[in-house]
Amino acid sequence: MPRLFTALEIPRNAAMSLSLLRGGLPGARWIDVENYHITLRFIGDVDNRTADEIVDRLDRIDRSQFELSLTGTGSFGSKKPHSVWAGVTQPPELYELQGEIERICQRIGLPADQRKFMPHVTLARLRSSRLDDVVHYLSGRGNFHTQPFTVGRFVLLSSRDSVGGGPYRTEEIFPLSDYSEDYNFPSADIHPAESVW
**Which residues, given as ranges, of the chain have pLDDT below 70?**
1, 161-166, 179-197
How many whole angstroms separate alpha carbon 20 and alpha carbon 16? 7
3-state secondary structure of 91: coil
Please tell me whether residue 183 adopts helix, strand or coil conformation: coil
Q: pTM value?
A: 0.87
pLDDT tens digits along 143-162: 999 999 999 999 999 987 55
Q: What pLDDT score was predicted for residue 140?
A: 92
Report the catalytic residues: 37, 120
pLDDT score of 160:
72
Predicted confidence at residue 187, as pLDDT, reads 47
Q: What is the pLDDT of residue 167?
A: 82
DSSP codes joined into one string, 102-116: HHHHHHHTPPPP-SP
- pLDDT at 17 (0 to 100): 96
Check residue 166 and give left, alpha or beta (phi > 0: left; psi -120 to 50: alpha). left
Encoded amino acid at 68, one letter: L
Task: Report pLDDT for 188.
Answer: 40
- What residues does each domain of the chain span? 3-175
pLDDT number for residue 183: 52
Q: Write the class of the CATH domain 3-175.
A: alpha beta
Q: Indicate the residue type of 163.
A: V
Predicted pLDDT of residue 191: 40
